[in-house]
Amino acid sequence: MRVVVTGAGGYIGAHVVDEALSKGHEVIAIDMDLKNISDKAIKKNLDLFATHENLFQSLGEPDVLIHLAWRDGFIHNSEQHMKNLSAHIEFVRNYVKSGGKNVAVMGSMHEVGYHEGAVDENTPTSPQSQYGIAKNAMRESLILASKELDFNLYWLRAYYIFGDDEYGSSIFSKLTRAAKNGDETFPFTTGKNLYDFIHVKDLAKMIVAASTQNEVTGVINVATGQAKSLAEQVEWYIQSNDWSIKLLYGVFPDRPYDSPGIWADATKIKDIMENYD
């Protein structure tokens, strides 16, 4: 298939490009910085927020658009989220109006807000951060647009991502930098919250698998479906890297908008992955 990936130079995007190439797809990688992208991909610098005429044709009439681009994804209350929301929606609408039929968009567990237990496509949402509010609004807008404009929408809802941590902004990235700096301790929360953790390479496989099939559409959780405490995952991460750094529990308070336990209902993605070989 011919696959367009926006945000291709980002933390998740680079892995999605590699995964799609490994499956034999032709990949058009879009970002402002593409220096870390494989030369096997077709690279395009494109301002997503500009006005685009005949966008589908100018991108080579791809089979699917995987829209990962998003500013300040790890800064949950950044002003950029709401500021750029309409531009993201307009970009997708322009792509579809000019002929695109399949659109996959990166979602987030932060759309859901405060929730205890498993999340499926019917779980009510009440986001508690600017990031969550913007993603939730984009999902609702594009669901309506998919009916209005008759295209397949794959809303890929991710949970807690780790891996390739020297380049990310998660707690695992901060811990990696601290350990490599020789720090003996690392200030931490209580670590009691339960999350659905996934390695970024496994996430990339799920994103490509979900985006290149046509049996399952709508909200698709790209996650393991398993709950693990943050403390357990971080302690495992330290041990697996053979670091001596110690966690200082309780230095930072738990964020009030974080759920005590939230994980995915992975039924859809497990069915998709069974046929992904």
Catalytic site positions? 131
**CB atoms near residue 184 (< 10 Å):** 9
Assess contact for 65 and 4: CB atoms under 8 A.
Answer: yes
Taking alpha carbons only, the member of 28, 151, 57, 27 closest to residue 96 is: 151
**Sign of the four-CA dihedral 259, 85, 9, 186:** negative
Output the six-digit token pair for 108: 């987030």
User: How many Å apart are CA 235 and CA 247, to the nearest integer?
Assistant: 8
Amino acid identity at 66: I
Instruction: State which H helix or E strand residue 273 sits in.
Output: helix 267-274
Q: In whole angstroms, what is the distance from residue 53 CA to residue 60 CA?
A: 13
β-partners of residue 228 are 195
Closest CA to 210 of 15, 14, 16: 16
**Residue 258 DSSP symbol:** S
User: How far from the centroid of its chain's Cα atoms is residue 23's Cα?
Assistant: 20
Can you tell me whether residue 262 is helix, strand or coil?
strand
Please list the residues that pair with 187 across neighbouring strands: 248
Phi-psi region of 122 (alpha: psi -120 to 50; beta: other; left: phi over 0): alpha
